[in-house]
Chains A and B, each alone.
Chain A
Amino acid sequence: MEAFLGGMALLLDPKILLVVFAGTLLGIVVGALPGISGSTTTALLLPFTITMGPVPAIAFLGAIYCAANFGGSITAILVNSPGDPSASATAFDGYPMALKGEAGRALGMSAVASAIGGIFSVVVLIFAAPLLARMAYSFGPPEYFALAVFGLSMVALSGGDSAVKNLIAGAFGVMLATVGQDITTGVERYTFGVYSFTDGIEFIPVLIGLFALTELLEQAAQLGKRTALAKLGAVRLPSWADVRKCGKAISLSSVLGTFIGVLPALGATTAAMIAYVETKRWSNNKQEFGKGAIEGVAGPEAANNAAVGGAMVPTLALGIPGSTTTAIILAGLLVQGVRPGPHLFTEQPMLLYAVFSSMLLANLLYLALGLGFAKLFARITLIPPQFLWPAVFVLSVIGAYAPNQAMAEVWVAIAFGFIGFFMRRFGFSPAPLVIGLVLGKLVEETLKQSLIIFDLSWGGFLGRPIALTLFGLTALFLLAPWALQRLRARP
């Protein structure tokens, strides 16, 4: 309780308030810009949080993460081009509403549903994360290894072209984490004589390359596509009739979104898509969906913001990222010297409660900003790419260069920009690669420790019920979609 109050009291600190406000504002702005997602922005700004200290840094990144999902809905509704992938489902009904002259109503509902989903999930985070951490307190290396493998297997379901491609990308991420000195023997692996690789590949340039620079090349391929802004009108709070109509959708989607967010590697985009389908299934107005149903805006928006708090649960309690953006936030914490996991709850409870309270504040802030300034944020989509993207590149270069003040890191960022571009061309999503990179060290360390405990016998895992259960779940999640497909294909 003391830590909780202490964490809340941190919100009275003007520096934290300013950081959360700036993060929220930036989150909405970048969320509204097609191509620049919450994960791109957190990757891009990660290096500049190093000087902030852990609490303001995670409060800043957390606020961007919360607000970007909402920001994405602005362009999804007004331009039919989701600013953030998590807002894709919002466009299905948001844009038809805008065409009918109801953009203000759609945006108002989007802001309210997002805030309710977001706040619900932060409340779940406040209670569930310590419980999960307490459960994980007795975990040894075999359980952590099984958990990390489970987290990696979940990348199979994280969207993209195919499960196999996601798994390949995730495994290459794990391979990237092996670059540098081996932890037990000190043997150098894949360093190619480059001194800065001895300590391993730095997260920051890889993230900047995979997200910001890959997107720069993608944008080059899409030059010439013009966006038309739908007429906005005044953004307003939902009417009582709208609230009654959407109450079920918001409640269902908040719970669904939080649950999906908690599952490792599945983030806001998956949550929003599933919530859209479920909202439609449970709605009395199924025929309106796709033609401008307000529930079709409320459901996905509540879910994608609920997934934010949900995704933070395994990230903070176990050190296993719940989504791509939390993988980047996790990397940010590691750069700050903070290793998330159950011990964090006893060693640095203030940090955690500061995170919880800043996320609550961010949800309230974007509700106010969204209702008040959506019209202004919508104008941002009109910045021409020939001015926006060269500036993003310049910022990427500074971001990659600044932490170690080394040009080698800029080369790494550019190389991963090219790698990410070709990955996308062949249907590989860069997100699993990031999750693999973040989890790679944990997988190797815990595997080695487990084998030492088991005297180099893999059979030792059979005597660990939690690890076995997690391996069972891994197999189930990997094989179930394939088995279902085979069953359906039978005549």
Chain B
Amino acid sequence: MSANRVAAAAVIAVAAALFALTFGFEKMPEGLSGGFGAEAFPRLVLGVIAALAVLLFVPGAQSEPQARIPAVVYYTAGSLLAFMALVPVAGMLGAMFVFLLGLGALWGERRAWLLLVASAAVMAAIWGVFVRGFAIQLPPGFWS
């Protein structure tokens, strides 16, 4: 199946799921909703989305084959999630420092001293501007 058809099918599936969810919205008396309830507008927009997705699906055989996503993209995406998992443990500042080192190394930087210096400089700037300057309370970690 062409990429456009895959995209159209995914759009229709998401629209159908969102449409189904509108049946779970709380019902209000007609006098309060003015005859146009909370579900009416989302349903109208989802109808438009479904119609557009059909337009994309029907003539959609013409599309470029998808290039493979390089493995480093998955590792990068994983590192974003690892960062989020690390925040409750190391605190936001600690997790950021680890992230700067980790992603820099993952993306090919092999000079450890340079990574350390650059990451420390970024962290110093973040701490100085946001923590000291703007007084933003960053989440502390388990160890902080």
Q: Is the CB of B138 within 8 A of A188?
A: no
Closest chain A CB from B139 CB (angstroms): 6
Closest chain A CB from B62 CB (angstroms): 10
| Docked complex Cα distance between A451 and B41 (Å) | 12
Query: Is B112 among interface residues, defined by CB-CB distance under 8 A?
Result: no
CB-nearest residue of chain A to B100 = A390
Question: Using Cβ atoms and an 8 Å threshold, which residues of chain A touch B46?
Answer: 175
Query: Is A235 among interface residues, defined by CB-CB distance under 8 A?
Result: no
Query: Is A377 among interface residues, defined by CB-CB distance under 8 A?
Result: no
Query: Is A221 among interface residues, defined by CB-CB distance under 8 A?
Result: yes
Most buried by B among A213, A223, A456: A223
Chain B, 88-111, CB within 8 A of any chain A CB: 92, 96, 99-100, 103-104, 107-109
Question: Using Cβ atoms and an 8 Å threshold, which residues of chain A touch B130?
Answer: 398, 402
Chain B, 31-83, CB within 8 A of any chain A CB: 32-39, 41-42, 45-46, 48-49, 52-53, 55-56, 63, 66, 69-70, 72-73, 75-77, 80-81, 83
Query: Is A22 among interface residues, defined by CB-CB distance under 8 A?
Result: no
Q: Is the CB of A426 within 8 A of B36?
A: no
Chain A, 388-411, CB within 8 A of any chain B CB: 389-391, 393-395, 397-398, 401-402, 405, 407, 410-411
Most buried by B among A187, A407, A448: A187
User: A220 touches which one: B32, B73, B83 (CB < 8 A)?
Assistant: B73
Q: Is the CB of A456 within 8 A of B35?
A: yes
Query: Is B136 among interface residues, defined by CB-CB distance under 8 A?
Result: yes
| Docked complex Cα distance between A385 and B76 (Å) | 13
Q: Is the CB of A185 within 8 A of B41?
A: no
Question: Using Cβ atoms and an 8 Å threshold, which residues of chain B touch A385?
Answer: 107
User: B21 touches which one: A165, A172, A190, A387 (CB < 8 A)?
Assistant: A190
Given A220-B72, A414-B80, is A182 in contact with B56 using a C-beta cutoff of 8 Å? Answer: no
* Interface SS majority for chain A: helix
Question: Using Cβ atoms and an 8 Å threshold, which residues of chain A touch B38?
Answer: 182, 184-185, 187, 189
Question: Using Cβ atoms and an 8 Å threshold, which residues of chain A touch B49?
Answer: 168, 171-172, 175
| Docked complex Cα distance between A155 and B27 (Å) | 34
Q: Is the CB of B56 within 8 A of A171?
A: no
| Docked complex Cα distance between A213 and B21 (Å) | 29
| Docked complex Cα distance between A12 and B94 (Å) | 42
Q: Is the CB of B100 within 8 A of A394?
A: yes
Q: Is the CB of B104 within 8 A of A386?
A: yes
Given A171-B48, A175-B42, A418-B77, is A394 in contact with B28 using a C-beta cutoff of 8 Å? Answer: no
User: A178 touches which one: B32, B42, B80, B92 (CB < 8 A)?
Assistant: B42
Query: Is B13 among interface residues, defined by CB-CB distance under 8 A?
Result: no
Interface size class on chain B is: 35 or more
Q: Is the CB of A165 within 8 A of B56?
A: yes
Chain A, 16-75, CB within 8 A of any chain B CB: 48, 51
Q: Is the CB of B84 within 8 A of A411?
A: yes
Q: Is the CB of B34 within 8 A of A448?
A: yes
Given A175-B46, A184-B34, A451-B34, is A402 in contact with B134 using a C-beta cutoff of 8 Å? Answer: yes
Query: Is A350 among interface residues, defined by CB-CB distance under 8 A?
Result: no
- Chain A interface residue count, CB cutoff 8 Å, equals 58
Query: Is B87 among interface residues, defined by CB-CB distance under 8 A?
Result: yes
Q: Is the CB of B18 within 8 A of A387?
A: no
| Docked complex Cα distance between A178 and B38 (Å) | 9
User: A451 touches which one: B11, B36, B137 (CB < 8 A)?
Assistant: B36
User: B25 touches which one: A51, A187, A414, A456 (CB < 8 A)?
Assistant: A187
Given A175-B42, A189-B38, is A398 in contact with B70 using a C-beta cutoff of 8 Å? Answer: no
Q: Is the CB of B56 within 8 A of A414?
A: no
User: A448 touches which one: B10, B41, B45 (CB < 8 A)?
Assistant: B41
Q: Is the CB of A164 within 8 A of B56?
A: yes
Question: Using Cβ atoms and an 8 Å threshold, which residues of chain A touch B92?
Answer: 397, 401
Closest chain A CB from B95 CB (angstroms): 9
Chain A, 247-262, CB within 8 A of any chain B CB: none
Q: Is the CB of B52 within 8 A of A394?
A: no
Most buried by A among B18, B25, B80, B108: B80
Q: Is the CB of A168 within 8 A of B109?
A: no
Chain A, 155-178, CB within 8 A of any chain B CB: 162, 164-165, 167-168, 171-172, 174-175, 178
Given A185-B33, A407-B139, is A391 in contact with B122 using a C-beta cutoff of 8 Å? Answer: yes
Q: Is the CB of A190 within 8 A of B134?
A: no
Chain A, 78-118, CB within 8 A of any chain B CB: none
B residues adjacent to A (C-beta < 8 A): 3-4, 6-7, 10-11, 18, 21-22, 25-26, 28, 32-39, 41-42, 45-46, 48-49, 52-53, 55-56, 63, 66, 69-70, 72-73, 75-77, 80-81, 83-84, 87, 92, 96, 99-100, 103-104, 107-109, 118-119, 122, 126, 130, 134, 136-139
9 additional contacts (CB under 8 A) given A175-B49, A427-B7: A168-B52, A178-B41, A185-B38, A187-B38, A216-B76, A223-B107, A411-B84, A414-B81, A456-B35
A residues adjacent to B (C-beta < 8 A): 48, 51, 162, 164-165, 167-168, 171-172, 174-175, 178, 182, 184-185, 187-190, 213, 216-217, 220-221, 223-224, 384-387, 389-391, 393-395, 397-398, 401-402, 405, 407, 410-411, 414, 417-418, 421, 425-428, 444, 447-448, 451-452, 456
A-B contact pairs, 7 of them (CB 8 A): A51-B134, A178-B45, A189-B22, A190-B21, A390-B104, A426-B66, A452-B34
